[in-house]
């Protein structure tokens, strides 16, 4: 058969299929690039689409060239389970009025800028239908509903299938938190978690859609503040975009705030909110957002020095009423903010950690903390007659001229303790880090390390004094005030006390009864936090909250057993009055024997009264 010539030089005619190049041709055919799928527009018009993107047809019409992938093949044998979705519109329609009712029961949500908005009147005018509100008010209403969902007990939040006991109203919430078992509170926190995240996503979506971070207004500023607060539930990153937008809006609005709603009470509230933000930055080592100019603009002039405040508060002629003690509250809060800024800039910040820590800075900081501790102790001692044990107030609202005196005293004392104790623990943790960090070992001589170790021991003793004040402050306000703002604060102190107690147990050192009271109070507070925060699944520093609670209860139960074996005591006296009666019932000879005989056997330190700093004593 004659050979047929082909245009391809490599082709050998009809017999080429059986030639030596046949496998190579087959391989080249297999390696051809597959034509990509057509774009959506060309596929709909059933025309040829260009393989490169964008295709000429879409580019000619100035349209976005989009190609939707097509799922091929048989379905999966085990399909991926998607998380449950929630109809947020139905949830908002059902409990908007309920959440706005609960707004006044959460002091940290009653931001001073809320008074500059008309959200409360607007939501009532719209009959609590968020879709009828203008965009800024709608976003703010979404943020408020999301924030209050952390403490709400509405069926749309806890779920209709929840059969447990629920409060009748927000007024009964403190009683419910005290009487409900630990497991019941944790189940409420787990149930509300998916609803909370769905509402938060809805609020975030609306905030970006209506450009809330870019347009300064009182409504947008409060929305940014609440969104930053909601991100603290499960996000501990270095960046705080919503807090940055909030401070940016606040600086734009500062002039109008000073001319319209600036009063001594509003200045005190601004000082308290700035203190909370500064302590959050100091605890998490995130950049400080509150500047000195912000404080001057909204909180007033620079406060007197701590030594001047101590000289004034310790005068015997100072009357024991809040009219004389109240002027000390705001200056101390301003000092807390300044010390938090100093802690970040000179010790814990990234730039400060480039060099070894300065002894003089550490000594000055310890001196400031000690002076502040003495001032707060004097204030507590003078405020004790104004505090009644039977005080009941479920609402911790923004303080005004018409508020009760005792509520004003309790909120002020709580703010002072929160500010002081929020500084002590980050400072101690930084000293511990500087001791163990490898990068500083070769840069610090042995003498400096010994002096820093002595300063660290002094700070640890101050931290235990602060721990007793934390327990004292937690009894001042109803438990409903606990929200994400307090979670990290309480959890950090619980871990600190737990580490010290476990170290003492390992070294077979005696555990004082005061330690047990502190551990028990912190454990109960973490259990209450489980009502609003997902304590079952929340982890901080690779340690679950439930694990910390179990370890705290274990040590408290161990001490109870030792007390029962010696004195027949099963329960720890919960109040100072019962504690004093308990001590009076114990014979002095037994206390003397406890130091010489019982302490070595049962590792209980009863040489000193465990109630010296428990209760309202300084």
Q: What is the pLDDT of residue 1?
A: 47
> How far, in whole angstroms, is CA 574 from its chain's centroid?
28
Distance, in Å, from the CA atom of 453 to the CA atom of 450, rounded to the nearest integer, reads 5
Using an 8 Å Cβ cutoff, are 190 and 533 in contact? no
Q: How does 51-90 read in b/e, with b if 16+ C-beta sit within 10 Å?
A: eeeebebbeeeeeebebeeeeeeeeeeeeeeeeeebebee
What is the DSSP-derived secondary structure letter of residue 358? P
Q: What is the pLDDT of residue 564?
A: 66
Distance, in Å, from the CA atom of 424 to the CA atom of 343, rounded to the nearest integer, reads 10
Using an 8 Å Cβ cutoff, are 425 and 404 in contact? no
Distance, in Å, from the CA atom of 272 to the CA atom of 332, rounded to the nearest integer, reads 10
Using an 8 Å Cβ cutoff, are 454 and 504 in contact? no
Among 189, 184, 132, 134, which Cα is nearest to 157's?
189
Using an 8 Å Cβ cutoff, are 604 and 509 in contact? no
Q: Is 32 exposed, middle or buried (0-12, 13-18, 19+ CB in 10 A)?
A: exposed
Distance, in Å, from the CA atom of 133 to the CA atom of 122, rounded to the nearest integer, reads 7
User: In which element (H, E) is residue 543 found?
Assistant: strand 543-544
Among 336, 335, 312, which Cα is nearest to 324's?
312
Q: How does 95-117 read in b/e, with b if 16+ C-beta sit within 10 Å?
A: bbebbbebbebbbbbbbbbbbbb
User: How many helical (H) and strand (E) elements, i.e. helices and strands, does the chain have?
Assistant: 26, 4
Distance, in Å, from the CA atom of 427 to the CA atom of 540, rounded to the nearest integer, reads 19
Q: What is the pLDDT of residue 589?
A: 39
What are the DSSP calls for 472-505, one per residue?
HHHTTS-GGG-SHHHHHHHHHHHHHHHHHHHHHH
Q: What is the pLDDT of residue 307?
A: 95
Q: What is the pLDDT of residue 376?
A: 94
Q: What is the pLDDT of residue 27?
A: 59
Q: How confident is the chain (618 residues) per 10-residue block, as mean pLDDT?
A: 49 48 57 77 87 85 82 67 61 81 77 86 90 92 91 84 80 82 85 89 93 94 93 79 95 79 74 93 91 90 93 82 82 96 93 90 96 94 80 55 71 92 95 82 82 93 93 82 75 92 85 83 89 65 76 85 61 49 45 39 34 31
499: tokens are: 């580490």
> How far, in whole angstroms, is CA 547 from its chain's centroid?
19
User: In which element (H, E) is residue 512 found?
Assistant: strand 511-512
Distance, in Å, from the CA atom of 398 to the CA atom of 288, rounded to the nearest integer, reads 25
Distance set, CA 566 to CA 499, 558, 593 (Å): 26, 13, 11
Q: Is 250 exposed, middle or buried (0-12, 13-18, 19+ CB in 10 A)?
A: buried
245: tokens are: 């937008």
Model confidence, pTM = 0.77
244: tokens are: 């940055």
The length of the chain, given as a count of residues: 618
* 432 CB-side CA count, 13 A: 11
- For the chain, the structural domain boundaries read 88-262, 482-618
Distance, in Å, from the CA atom of 591 to the CA atom of 247, rounded to the nearest integer, reads 57
Listed in sequence order, the DSSP H helices in 475-612 are 484-506, 513-529, 545-567, 576-585, 588-593, 599-602
């Amino acid at each position: 058969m004659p050979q047929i010539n082909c245009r391809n030089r490599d082709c050998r005619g009809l017999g080429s299929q059986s030639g030596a190049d046949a496998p190579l041709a087959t391989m080249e055919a297999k390696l051809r690039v597959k034509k990509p799928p057509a774009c959506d527009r060309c596929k709909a018009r059933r025309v040829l689409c260009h393989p490169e993107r964008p295709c000429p047809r879409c580019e000619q019409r100035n349209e976005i060239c989009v190609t939707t992938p097509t799922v091929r093949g048989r379905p999966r044998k085990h399909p991926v389970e998607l998380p449950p979705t929630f109809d947020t519109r139905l949830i908002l329609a059902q409990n908007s009025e309920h959440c706005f009712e609960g707004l006044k029961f959460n002091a940290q949500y009653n931001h001073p800028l809320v008074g500059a908005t008309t959200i409360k009147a607007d939501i009532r005018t719209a009959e609590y239908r968020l879709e009828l509100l203008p965009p800024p008010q709608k976003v703010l209403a979404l943020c408020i509903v999301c924030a209050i969902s952390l403490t709400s007990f509405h069926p749309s939040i806890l779920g209709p299938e929840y059969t447990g006991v629920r409060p009748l109203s927000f007024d009964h919430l403190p009683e419910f938190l005290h009487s409900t078992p630990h497991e019941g509170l944790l189940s409420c926190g787990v149930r509300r978690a998916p609803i909370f995240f769905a509402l938060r996503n809805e609020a975030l979506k609306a905030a970006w859609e209506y450009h809330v971070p870019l347009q300064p207004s009182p409504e947008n500023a409060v929305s940014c503040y609440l969104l930053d607060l909601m991100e603290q539930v499960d996000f501990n990153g270095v960046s705080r975009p919503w807090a940055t937008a909030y401070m940016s809006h606040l600086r734009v609005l500062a002039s109008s705030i000073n001319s319209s709603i600036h009063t001594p009470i509003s200045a005190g509230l601004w000082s308290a909110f700035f203190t909370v933000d500064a302590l959050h930055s100091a605890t998490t080592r995130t950049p400080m957002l509150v500047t000195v100019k912000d404080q001057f603009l909204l909180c007033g002039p620079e406060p007197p020095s701590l030594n001047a405040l101590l000289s004034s508060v310790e005068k015997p002629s100072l009357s024991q009423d809040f009219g004389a003690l109240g002027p000390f509250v705001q200056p101390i809060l301003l000092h807390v903010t300044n010390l938090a800024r100093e802690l970040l800039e000179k010790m814990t910040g990234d730039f400060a950690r480039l060099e070894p820590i300065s002894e003089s800075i550490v000594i000055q900081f310890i001196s400031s903390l000690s002076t502040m501790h003495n001032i707060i102790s004097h204030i507590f001692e003078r405020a004790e007659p104004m505090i009644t044990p039977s005080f009941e107030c479920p609402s911790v609202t923004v303080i005004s001229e018409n508020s009760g005196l005792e509520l004003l005293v309790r909120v002020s004392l709580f703010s002072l303790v929160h500010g002081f104790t929020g500084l002590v623990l980050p400072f101690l943790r930084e000293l511990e880090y500087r001791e163990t960090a490898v990068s500083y070992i070769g840069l610090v001589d042995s003498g400096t390390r010994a002096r820093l170790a002595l300063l660290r021991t002094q700070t640890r003793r101050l931290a235990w004094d602060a721990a007793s004040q934390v327990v004292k402050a937690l009894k001042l306000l109803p438990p409903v005030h606990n929200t994400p703002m307090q979670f990290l604060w309480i959890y950090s102190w619980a871990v600190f006390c737990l580490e010290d107690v476990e170290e003492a147990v390992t070294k077979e050192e005696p555990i004082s009864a005061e330690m047990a009271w502190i551990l028990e109070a912190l454990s109960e507070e973490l259990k209450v936090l489980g009502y609003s925060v997902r304590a079952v699944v929340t982890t901080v520093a690779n340690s679950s909250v439930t694990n910390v609670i179990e370890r705290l209860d274990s040590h408290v139960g161990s001490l109870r057993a030792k007390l029962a074996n010696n004195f027949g005591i099963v329960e720890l006296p919960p109040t100072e009055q019962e504690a004093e009666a308990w001590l009076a019932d114990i014979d002095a000879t037994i206390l003397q024997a406890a130091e010489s005989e019982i302490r070595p056997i049962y590792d209980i330190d009863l040489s000193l009264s465990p109630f010296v700093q428990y209760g309202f004593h300084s």
